[in-house]
């Protein structure tokens, strides 16, 4: 029935119908075009953010690798600790120095030698 009605229409009427259909399709497509543009913009921003995150992750990985390669291990610390003088060692050396100093001062006094470091 619609086909029969279309056949009986003039070219002018058909063109008017085509124009109305085009306008309707255009009106329906406009919001979709806007949404598509917004999606494309969001995709660009997302790609930029992903690239930045990738750079941050790569930088963190490089930093962690550097730390792992250069950080002292527990064994390294134990070895250094074993080689370090203890506070008791330092105090013992200090006591020995005091004893030697007193002996030298005693010898200087006994021999009558003037110590230039003393006033």
**pLDDT tens, position by position, 43-96:** 999 999 999 999 999 999 999 999 888 888 888 888 888 788 788 888 888 899
pLDDT at 68: 86
Average pLDDT score over residue span 94-115:
89
Q: Is 115 helix (H, G, I), strand (E, B) or coil?
A: coil
State how far the Cα of 81 lies from the Cα of 78, in Å rounded to an integer.
5
Q: Residue 111: inside a domain, yes or no?
A: yes
Query: How many domains is the chain partitioned into structurally?
Result: 2
- Is there a single domain that holds both residue 79 and residue 117? yes
- Is there a single domain that holds both residue 85 and residue 100? yes
- Is there a single domain that holds both residue 33 and residue 45? yes
Whether 108 and 115 have beta carbons less than 8 Å apart is answered as yes
- Does the pLDDT of residue 1 top 70, yes or no? no
- Is there a single domain that holds both residue 65 and residue 84? no
pTM of the predicted protein model: 0.45
pLDDT at 57: 97
- Is there a single domain that holds both residue 83 and residue 118? yes
- Is there a single domain that holds both residue 20 and residue 57? yes
């Amino acid at each position: 029935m619609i086909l029969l009605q279309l056949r009986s229409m003039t070219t002018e009427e058909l063109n008017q119908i085509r124009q109305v259909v085009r306008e309707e399709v255009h009106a329906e497509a406009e919001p979709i075009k806007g949404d598509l543009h917004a999606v494309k913009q969001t995709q660009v921003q997302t790609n930029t953010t992903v690239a930045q995150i990738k750079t941050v992750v790569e930088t963190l990985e490089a930093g962690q690798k550097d730390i792992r390669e250069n950080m002292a291990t527990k064994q390294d610390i134990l070895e250094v600790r074993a080689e370090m003088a203890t506070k008791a060692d330092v105090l013992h050396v200090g006591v020995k120095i005091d004893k030697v100093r007193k002996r030298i001062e005693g010898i200087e006094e006994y021999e009558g030698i003037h110590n230039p470091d003393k006033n």
